Amino acid sequence: MGALLKGRVMKLSDFDFELPQERIALRPMSPRGDAKLLVSQGGQIEDSFVRDLCHYLRPGDRLVLNDTKVIPARLSGTRARQSAQGLVEAKIEVTLMEPQANGRWKALIKPLRKLAVGEEIIFAAGLSARCIEKTDGRAILDFSAQGAELDAALDASGQMPLPPYIASKRAADAHDKSDYQTIWAKHRGAVAAPTASLHLDAAALAALQDLGVAISYVTLHVGAGTFLPVKVEEVSRHKMHAEWGHVSPQAVAEIQQTRAAGGRIISVGTTALRLIETAACSGTLRPFEGNTDIFIYPGFEFQITNGLMTNFHLPKSTLLMLVAALVGKPQLDAIYAHAVANKYRFFSYGDASLLFAS
């Protein structure tokens, strides 16, 4: 049976709203703490700023942060092709999407139809890749470099994989290599940033520590699937993409200690939230390593999370459904109506919200 909303099956259209295009942020605020912060607590909405985050937290609370590191996954290359004038070079764009076995990568290719299986793509910095397979509108690429050598080549010649709603309006540049990365990024593997965390700088972390707010780190490698649209009208029939995550025994012990002491667990970003709820799906938080395709929408019973810091999400997105599960659908509608009316900046480089469970 499908999930219910107000006595009926939830529909994708329940999570639609009108967003003026000028509300989509193309650059982050600088400094990061100058971004606006919408706070939802006890059914009330308050306008604030990220720099004042500590006003809404208490000593003994714990933030859960995602320490994944975004790789410069967008590459420009060339392929040789035959023409009436002989052998010529043609440009080709590659966006890495998901690592495969043996160091290969699943990638989005433009134009894919002109790339043949077995054909080689030449990139800068002496890097090349051969197309091994084409499936489901994607290619499997085998690179000439592996491991640290491939990492170095990507850092030298790759660009940050900005979300489609930004990339369609401007190209990535040198600023994005720091803007689209958290200051604590550690484990390489994401092709999209855990964007709520982009708001927190060194000053914010120091203020949290001074207040007595603890921090735990988990790792979820955000995949390009986070931007895939929901294609079914009945929400419960949607199949989530899988992403690799890790919750360490140390993080489990820290979170359990905070809960036992009466502190609140506040996930910074939907990725951290999805991961700790995956690790607690049995009813008890346990160490976790592997793929998660957890889908959180209204009716979901949270095991760990008391609050969420997150950005403002796309209409009809699974992230919007997750927020509705936490705060309730009526409060979600009120939050987004308030954000649009008060000119909050939306999506990855936009403003933030701090939402406590209803």
Sequence spans of domains, the chain: 4-70+177-356, 74-157
Q: What is the pTM of this model?
A: 0.93
Q: What is the pLDDT of residue 208?
A: 97
The mean pLDDT value for 176-195 works out to 96
- Which tokens hold the place of 99? 């690592």
**Is 78:115 a contact under the CB 8 Å cutoff?**
no
**Angle between helices 318-327 and 270-279 in degrees, nearest 10:** 70
Count the Cβ atoms, other than its own, within 10 Å of residue 6. 9
**Best CA proximity match to 57, nearest among 228, 167, 212:** 212
**Is 209:54 a contact under the CB 8 Å cutoff?**
no
Radius of gyration of the chain (CA): 21
Q: What is the pLDDT of residue 3?
A: 62
Q: What is the pLDDT of residue 317?
A: 95
Q: What is the pLDDT of residue 4?
A: 60
**Is 295:226 a contact under the CB 8 Å cutoff?**
no
- Count of all residues that appear for the chain in the document: 358
pLDDT digits 0-9 by tens, 216-237? 999 999 988 777 789 999 999 9
Q: What is the pLDDT of residue 227?
A: 77
Band (261; pLDDT cuts 50, 70, 90): very high
Q: What is the pLDDT of residue 98?
A: 86
**Is 38:353 a contact under the CB 8 Å cutoff?**
yes
Measured on CA atoms in the order 282, 285, 289, 295, is the torsion positive or negative?
positive
* CATH architecture assignment, domain 74-157: Beta Barrel (2.40)
Band (204; pLDDT cuts 50, 70, 90): very high
293: phi then psi, degrees, rounded to nearest 5: -125, 30
Rounded Cα distance, 308 and 353, in Å = 8
Rounded Cα distance, 9 and 143, in Å = 46
Give the whole-number percent of the chain exceeding pLDDT 90: 86
- Which tokens hold the place of 325? 């599960």
Rounded Cα distance, 110 and 45, in Å = 44
Count each helix (H run) and each strand (E run) in the chain, helices first: 8, 19
**Is 42:208 a contact under the CB 8 Å cutoff?**
no
Give the whole-number percent of the chain exceeding pLDDT 70: 97
**Is 109:94 a contact under the CB 8 Å cutoff?**
yes
Going from the C-alpha of 250 to that of each of 217, 224, 253, the distances in angstroms are 9, 28, 5
**Best CA proximity match to 98, nearest among 160, 152, 141:** 141
The mean pLDDT value for 109-121 works out to 93
**Is 329:14 a contact under the CB 8 Å cutoff?**
yes
Strands (E) located in 119-264: 120-122, 128-135, 138-143, 187-190, 214-220, 243-247
pLDDT at 265 over 50: yes
Q: What is the pLDDT of residue 1?
A: 36
Rounded Cα distance, 192 and 68, in Å = 10
* CATH architecture assignment, domain 4-70+177-356: 3-Layer(aba) Sandwich (3.40)
Measured on CA atoms in the order 312, 322, 180, 64, is the torsion positive or negative?
positive
pLDDT digits 0-9 by tens, 43-82? 999 999 999 999 999 999 999 999 999 999 999 999 987 6
Rounded Cα distance, 37 and 57, in Å = 13
Average pLDDT over the chain, rounded to an integer: 94
The mean pLDDT value for 279-308 works out to 97
